[in-house]
């Protein structure tokens, strides 16, 4: 396994702006006459704060943290969906992100048509998707409904189809954001088994999950995010224990 990292983050920050009401000093009479709306001020919000780490080929790294800690934003930065406000990100392998399963689906199209549509959004040709279509349908367990418009699918069926498409795209790096938090227990175990297969193949994976037991099972290394910053980076069981202790003290 190459010692050269396939993902490198160097002092990465991401700033967003949120809108807040700003009071205006006008007389009540003027406000009533003109019915002026208060202007909105753009307030900065730092979602990711000076994050640096590297990941080697073949590593499976878990990312944990409370809601709003910057986990999903971090994955979107690595995937190239967001650009960093400061710092640099280097990715040296072909990457696919399972960040929002079913993003780009069209409810008016059938499940089969959405396989080709979603595949094209992930950079696959129609011929490449045609070679995988039966495997995708079988993994998603929706063959009886594959030619039905997607708008008639349950949310679980849509998630299964989205996951099945994503895992059949050839990529050396996979980013997974809470993709195992949905679906029934049998399907979750099926997905975990596929991820373990990817590990055996030497693929690199980053998993965001609140399920620390899952991360302990799949990841030797974990990164704990808090308020956009890295609190700890090390052995998964140790990082998970530190995070759990911190959360107990909060509440």
Task: Say what the pLDDT of residue 1 is.
Answer: 46
Q: What CATH number is associated with residue 142?
A: 3.40.50.300
In the chain, the N- to C-terminal Cα span, in Å, equals: 43
Task: Say what the pLDDT of residue 96 is.
Answer: 80
Q: Which residues of 180-219 are buried (b: 16+ CB within 10 A; e: fewer)?
A: bebbeeebbebbeeebeebbeeebbbbbbbebbebbbebb
Task: Say what the pLDDT of residue 33 is.
Answer: 53
Structural contact between residues 109 and 117, judged by C-beta atoms closer than 8 angstroms: yes
Asked if residue 1 is part of any domain, the answer here is: no
Pairing state between β 40-55 and 95-98: unpaired
Task: Say what the pLDDT of residue 31 is.
Answer: 55
Pairing state between β 95-98 and 60-64: unpaired
- Beta-carbon contacts of residue 149 (< 8 Å; ≥ 6 apart): 107, 108, 109, 110
Structural contact between residues 91 and 7, judged by C-beta atoms closer than 8 angstroms: yes
Asked if residue 239 is part of any domain, the answer here is: yes
Determine the structural domain holding residue 94 and report its residue range.
Answer: 7-250
Each of the 251 residues of the chain gets a pLDDT tens digit; together they read 456 999 999 999 999 988 765 555 555 555 555 555 555 667 889 999 999 999 999 999 999 999 999 999 999 999 999 999 999 999 998 888 777 766 679 999 999 999 999 888 877 889 999 999 999 999 999 999 999 999 999 988 888 898 898 888 888 899 988 877 666 788 888 889 999 999 999 999 999 988 889 899 999 999 999 999 999 999 999 999 999 999 988 87
Asked if residue 175 is part of any domain, the answer here is: yes
Task: Say what the pLDDT of residue 182 is.
Answer: 61
Number of domains making up the chain: 1
Task: Residue 224: count other Cβ atoms within 10 Å of its Cβ.
Answer: 22
Structural contact between residues 232 and 51, judged by C-beta atoms closer than 8 angstroms: no
Task: Say what the pLDDT of residue 204 is.
Answer: 95
Task: Say what the pLDDT of residue 57 is.
Answer: 95
Task: Say what the pLDDT of residue 102 is.
Answer: 66
| Separation between Cα atoms, residue 224 and residue 242, nearest integer Å | 9
Asked if residue 148 is part of any domain, the answer here is: yes
Asked if residue 2 is part of any domain, the answer here is: no
Structural contact between residues 43 and 22, judged by C-beta atoms closer than 8 angstroms: no
Note if the pTM is more than 0.85.
Answer: no
173-177: strand order across its sheet: 95-98, 173-177, 204-208, 60-64, 221-226, 229-235
Asked if residue 92 is part of any domain, the answer here is: yes
């Amino acid at each position: 396994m190459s010692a050269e990292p396939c993902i490198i983050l160097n002092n990465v920050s991401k700033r967003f702006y949120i809108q807040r009401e700003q009071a205006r000093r006008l007389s009540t009479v003027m406000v009533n006459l003109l019915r002026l709306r208060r202007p909105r001020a753009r307030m900065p919000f730092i979602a990711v704060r000076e994050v640096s780490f590297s990941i080697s080929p073949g590593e499976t790294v878990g990312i944990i943290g409370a809601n709003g800690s910057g986990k999903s934003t971090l994955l979107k930065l690595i995937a190239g969906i967001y650009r960093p406000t400061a710092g640099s990100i280097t990715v040296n392998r072909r990457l696919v992100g399972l960040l929002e399963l079913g993003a780009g689906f069209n409810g008016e199209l059938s499940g089969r048509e959405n396989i080709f549509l979603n595949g094209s959004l992930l950079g696959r040709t129609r011929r490449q998707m045609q070679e995988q279509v039966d495997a995708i349908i079988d993994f998603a367990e929706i063959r009886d409904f594959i030619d039905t418009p997607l708008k008639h699918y349950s949310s679980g069926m849509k998630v299964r189809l989205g996951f099945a498409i994503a895992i059949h795209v050839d990529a050396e790096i996979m980013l997974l954001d809470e993709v195992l938090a949905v679906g029934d227990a049998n399907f979750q175990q099926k997905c975990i088994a596929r991820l373990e297969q990817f590990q055996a193949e030497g693929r690199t994976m980053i998993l965001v999950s609140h399920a620390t037991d899952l991360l302990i099972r799949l990841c030797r290394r974990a990164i704990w995010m808090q308020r956009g910053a890295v609190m700890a980076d090390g052995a998964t069981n140790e990082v998970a224990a530190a995070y759990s202790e911190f959360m107990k003290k909060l509440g």
